[in-house]
Amino acid sequence: MKFINILFVFCLAFVYTNSIAQFATRKISKKEQAYTDSLKQVDYKYIFPILGQKTYKGGFDIPYPIGIMANYIQMNQGVLIDNFELGIKTDNVDIPLTPADNIIKFGDNRNQSYSFNIRPDIWVFPFLNVYGVFGVGRSETTVNLTAPVELKSVVDQKITTSGVGLMGAFGLGPVWVSLDGNWTWNKPELLDKPVQVAVFGLRVGHTFVFDQHPDRNIAVWGGAMRVRMESNTRGQIKLADALPIEEFNAKGQEALDYYNALPPADKLDPVNILIKRIGDKLVAADGEAIIRYGMDKQVLEEWNGIFGAQFQYNKRWMLRTEWGLIGDRKSGLLSLNYRFLL
């Protein structure tokens, strides 16, 4: 019983509450007061959220427990590449991944992506939300090679995403605070295995209630987001997908010129031999040759600042937007949320 009472205290500090108790210095309209009084009379017979009945009896409003959110997300961020490995496979050559960090160097690399996902969720407690993420999208990664030759490769590929997340929320006087963490597995079509990405978000905001429509409000917030991805990546790509065909001859000749200028001892280095073989394939316009690669990949800056807003038309429909504007990562989100009782 003591544990249940502690949970109930958290409920009273729930992020989405429209309770007048949190805004005692603001003049309360008659409609708001009537709405708050009506909440105390609610006979809540649903399982979720747990402690829903006690929360309503305290005069606190809570969202409908089940939701389906449709999200469109776009993102642009820098990427760091370390511990690069290289290999090649053709009709008559099959060289496995070989450490190449000592010879192959990278400059500034960037990733642009967009995705559409569906996020079903449930409020298990009035302060704890559990959700899933299922989506599809595209990713365009621009890789700038600076040595042994200068080369820019743009890789465009489809991505599928699935994952789970948790969000906790509570009130601090006139503001609310939410902590959100999710873990997704993202499978680009050119990689052998999905890449795990962990996202953590901290948001602090305030909700403005419409005097004449107490179930309608606008929330605004600011905060920070951290993105961390699984570093180890393995994949393969055809030369035709890594480089425009019109650049094959020029870049292939640069690779061969590099190799031919090496001292005899360096020409025996396995990585330099790989570079020569790739140069030969480029000059021969063999776009079917498969380049194998491995690397430790991470975002350039894990943290960025975010700002957002949500318009709640009623307890069923919400429209939300959020933008990452501070830091290297630039992002934008637009979502529509529909909630219902189960």
DSSP per residue over 118-131, as a string?
EEEEEEEETTEEEE
Domain limits at 10? 2-57
Contact in structure between 102 and 147 (CB atoms under 8 Å): no
pLDDT of residue 16 exceeding 50: no
The total number of structural domains that make up the chain: 2
DSSP β-ladder status, 303-312 and 317-326? antiparallel
User: Are residues 49 and 74 part of one domain?
Assistant: no
27 and 109 assigned to the same domain = no
Cβ proximity of 91 and 277 under 8 Å = no
Using the predicted structure, report yes or no on whether residue 289 has a pLDDT greater than 50.
yes
Instruction: Supply the pTM of this predicted model.
Output: 0.84
Label residues 39-75 b or e (16+ Cβ within 10 Å = b). Answer: beeeebeeebbbbbebbbebbbbbbbbbbebebbbeb
Inter-CA distances, 191 with 14, 24, 93, 159, 164, Å: 42, 56, 21, 10, 22
Per-residue pLDDT tens digits for 209-226: 998 888 899 999 999 999
Same domain, 169 and 257: yes
| Statement to judge: residues 113 and 258 lie in one domain | yes
How many residues are listed for the chain in this entry?
342
pLDDT (average), residues 233-260: 93
Least confident of 27-31, 244-248, 251-255, 266-270: 27-31
Q: Are residues 179 and 251 both part of a single domain? A: yes
In a shared domain, residues 155 and 14: no
- Is 239's pLDDT higher than 90? yes
Predicted confidence at residue 88, as pLDDT, reads 95
Q: What is the CATH number of the domain that holds 318?
A: 2.40.128
pLDDT tier at 28, thresholds 50, 70, 90: low
| Mean pLDDT within 293-306 | 95
Phi then psi dihedrals of residue 3, to 5 deg:
-65, -40
Determine which of 31-40, 86-95, 165-174, 196-205 has the lowest per-residue pLDDT on average: 31-40
Residues whose CB is less than 8 angstroms from the CB of residue 307 and which lie 6 or more positions away in sequence, other chains included: 220, 221, 222, 223, 322, 323, 325
Q: Please report, rounded to a whole number, the percentage of residues in the chain having pLDDT higher than 70.
A: 91
User: Are 13 and 143 in the same domain?
Assistant: no
- Do 106 and 83 form a contact (C-beta atoms < 8 A)? no
Last residue of a domain, one of 32, 57, 82: 57
